Structure 1
Amino acid sequence: MLERYELETFLTLAEELHFGRTAERMHVSTARVSQTIKGLERRVGAPLFNRTSRRVELTPIGHRLAEDLQPAQELIAAGFERAVRSARGITGTLRVGFVGAAGGQLLLDAAELLHSREPGCEVLVREVQLDDAVPRLLDGGVEVLLTCFLSEQDDLVTGPALVTEARMLAVPSGHAFADRQSVSVEDLAGVAVLRTPDDLPSSHPPHQTPAEGPAAGSFQEILTLVGAGRGVFLIGAHMRRYYMRPDVAYVPIQDAPPVQWRLMWRTDGATARIHAFATAAHDLVSPDTRLQHHEPETR
């Protein structure tokens, strides 16, 4: 008999392929995850994962087991969620915030889908700026936030990536980088990079220590500073479509990790409405879209 904890541990590791991240998601120690997997392997009679110092991979038996178990877990979760909704009902108003122009449409579509599933639940979609996004989430001004900036605060929960896009560099139109087909992370060493209000890690060049540029409270402020030559900024590829400016050029960064957009909410405010909305947003985005690294259009 497979215990629920064993099922969740195995499927989480099969998804993450990393013992540390699995332990974080399960809120247990890495040793506990390892012990659970070893116990399953003893009962199966064969390895479920190949482990090396650099990577973790499913064995053929492990891959088949994951394929067999995933639908069962989804059915259990869906059945339990239906029971919760039937018992409690999901009603009332949910306030959802987004940062940047592109996020609004996704939230409106998710709100429409949620309302079709839960007619008693209304969703108010509100734009928030960089300098007040997290504060409004913490003080209850919005209950859910769609953002590409992660928070390391323990009182905030970040959901799985909904949309992934290529990372680009916003530079002044007269900058030396502006006419290049692409730049690399190494090119950014010593270049002044504009800061977000909370100096979030995702606004910095990966594996580099950039020169510190001024802080800005919104994307429009950031691009105004970029156009004035006060610094550069790392952004997602969608900015090129939604924030066209004559004084700013957008250049692909060939070796930078992509930008990921996720929902965020307060740990102590995880209501049934929030979970239902997160499910609706997740359902709107197919697996292919969630994992796609969108390439920017050729300039």
Structure 2
Amino acid sequence: MERYEIEAFLTLAEELHFGWTADRLHVSTAHISKTIRRLERRIGVPLFERTSRRVALTAIGARLRQDIGPAHEQIQQAVRNAIAAGRGIVGVLRVGFFGSDSALFLHTVSDAFRRQYPDCQVEIVELQLHNGLSMLQTDQVDVELARYPADHPDLACGPVLFTEPKVLAVSSQHPFARRSSLSLEDLAQVKLLRNPATMLEVWDEFHSPRHTPSGRPIEHVPGSETFLGQLALVGAGKGVYPEGGRAMRFYVRPDVTYVPFHDAAPLEWGLVWRATRETARVRAFAHTAHEVATAINEPDRP
């Protein structure tokens, strides 16, 4: 059955009047009559008894109404729910994060967001290196705070929220640990811990390149599926790991030293979500995050 046939049948079954049915559906009475006749021909039996005085369901018509009525209402409710989720800032918004520093920022954003939209609950979800993209793709989280770039045809990105210097995590026993700074060319002398294969290729190549800027090859060795696992390997002298400067404050370890790069561009952070899953909740949260980040970055603005 076509959608318009279902609507015509169920409305007529409720009104039991062709004129009133036509008025409710904003069509002509002749259109309703034609639609019902076509439906009855397809089914092979009358669905309504018609006289000059009354319209009534036949036994088969009543059974058909009983069978398809609840399913039609369920579909209509699903559509109403989708519209409410897309337009209204209500329900639950699940926001993913990598690392303690990101969690601190997101909780600040969440508090500000809830003050503006008390009917929308925010769930902060911890992600790992191996599942960040899949959690987004399978709708286990609605939006993530991630390090850019996030170039992917399925993803949409908000504005840059904050930046941090790029550093190299090395064993405290490594010769680089005694350096005040490093060059990206120095990566040709060490073994970079490999990220999980499930990460965005453009992200992995940007943060853990296969070659230095001058084209010298960089050796990669197996790493861990979690950031803490990567740091444990670094501390054990199994390799080095490029990271952001905020790790120097949030992930202090006696076996790991963070050495800044003097020739690397700052790393950028922002919110990422699936373009086809963008809702009013996502847009509002991204806007709030930008306001919070601006206030943090410019505390003395008027």
TM-score (structure 2 length as normaliser):
0.64
Q: CA-atom RMSD, angstroms?
A: 2.2
Out of 197-206 and 273-282, give the one that drifted further.
197-206
Aligned counterpart, 1:242: 250
- The structure 2 residue matched to 1:270, chosen from 278, 283, 288, is 278
Residues 214-255 of structure 1, C-alpha deviations (whole Å, 9 max, x = no match) = 132111011011111111111111111111111111111111
Once residues 152 and 260 of structure 1 are traced to their aligned partners in structure 2, the CA distance between those partners, rounded to angstroms, is 13
Tell whether 2:262 aligns with 1:258: no
The 1:177–1:203 alpha-carbon spacing in structure 2 relative to 1, beyond 3 Å, is same
Aligned counterpart, 1:191: 190
Once residues 159 and 222 of structure 1 are traced to their aligned partners in structure 2, the CA distance between those partners, rounded to angstroms, is 28
- Aligned ranges 1:117-128 → 2 under 5 Å: 117-128=116-127
Contact between 1:143 and 1:266, CA under 8 Å: does it hold in 2? yes
Once residues 234 and 119 of structure 1 are traced to their aligned partners in structure 2, the CA distance between those partners, rounded to angstroms, is 39
Once residues 258 and 213 of structure 1 are traced to their aligned partners in structure 2, the CA distance between those partners, rounded to angstroms, is 25
Contact between 2:223 and 2:233, CA under 8 Å: does it hold in 1? no
Aligned counterpart, 2:241: 233
Aligned counterpart, 2:290: 282
Equivalent residue letter for 1:233: Y
Once the two structures are TM-superposed, the CA of residue 142 in structure 1 deviates from its matched residue by 0.5
Contact between 1:147 and 1:264, CA under 8 Å: does it hold in 2? yes
Aligned counterpart, 1:174: 173
Once the two structures are TM-superposed, the CA of residue 281 in structure 1 deviates from its matched residue by 0.3
Aligned counterpart, 1:105: 104
Equivalent residue letter for 1:163: F
Once residues 279 and 168 of structure 1 are traced to their aligned partners in structure 2, the CA distance between those partners, rounded to angstroms, is 29
Secondary structure, in 3 states, of the residue corresponding to 2:128? coil
Equivalent residue letter for 1:270: E
Aligned counterpart, 2:50: none
- How many residue pairs end up in the alignment? 206
Once the two structures are TM-superposed, the CA of residue 287 in structure 1 deviates from its matched residue by 7.6
Residues 245-275 of structure 1, C-alpha deviations (whole Å, 9 max, x = no match) = 1111111111111111111100110010000
Once residues 285 and 149 of structure 1 are traced to their aligned partners in structure 2, the CA distance between those partners, rounded to angstroms, is 16
Aligned counterpart, 1:163: 162
Equivalent residue letter for 1:145: E
Out of 87-96 and 159-168, give the one that drifted further.
87-96
Once the two structures are TM-superposed, the CA of residue 162 in structure 1 deviates from its matched residue by 0.5
Larger radius of gyration: 2
Equivalent residue letter for 1:240: M
Once residues 132 and 106 of structure 1 are traced to their aligned partners in structure 2, the CA distance between those partners, rounded to angstroms, is 21
Contact between 1:150 and 1:158, CA under 8 Å: does it hold in 2? no
Once residues 181 and 250 of structure 1 are traced to their aligned partners in structure 2, the CA distance between those partners, rounded to angstroms, is 10
Contact between 2:89 and 2:280, CA under 8 Å: does it hold in 1? yes
- The structure 1 residue matched to 2:207, chosen from 199, 203, 221, is 203
Contact between 1:204 and 1:210, CA under 8 Å: does it hold in 2? no
Once residues 242 and 210 of structure 1 are traced to their aligned partners in structure 2, the CA distance between those partners, rounded to angstroms, is 28
Percent identical residues = 40
Once residues 221 and 247 of structure 2 are traced to their aligned partners in structure 1, the CA distance between those partners, rounded to angstroms, is 20
Secondary structure, in 3 states, of the residue corresponding to 1:177? helix
Aligned counterpart, 1:62: none
Which structure 1 residue ranges, 5 or more long, are not aligned? 1-84, 291-299
Tell whether 2:156 aligns with 1:136: no
Secondary structure, in 3 states, of the residue corresponding to 1:286? helix
Secondary structure, in 3 states, of the residue corresponding to 1:102? helix
The 1:288–1:95 alpha-carbon spacing in structure 2 relative to 1, beyond 3 Å, is closer
Aligned counterpart, 2:72: none
Out of 156-165 and 198-207, give the one that drifted further.
198-207
Once residues 295 and 113 of structure 2 are traced to their aligned partners in structure 1, the CA distance between those partners, rounded to angstroms, is 19
Secondary structure, in 3 states, of the residue corresponding to 2:100? coil
Equivalent residue letter for 1:227: G
Once the two structures are TM-superposed, the CA of residue 165 in structure 1 deviates from its matched residue by 0.7
Once residues 287 and 167 of structure 1 are traced to their aligned partners in structure 2, the CA distance between those partners, rounded to angstroms, is 23
Equivalent residue letter for 1:277: F
- Aligned ranges 1:21-32 → 2 under 5 Å: none
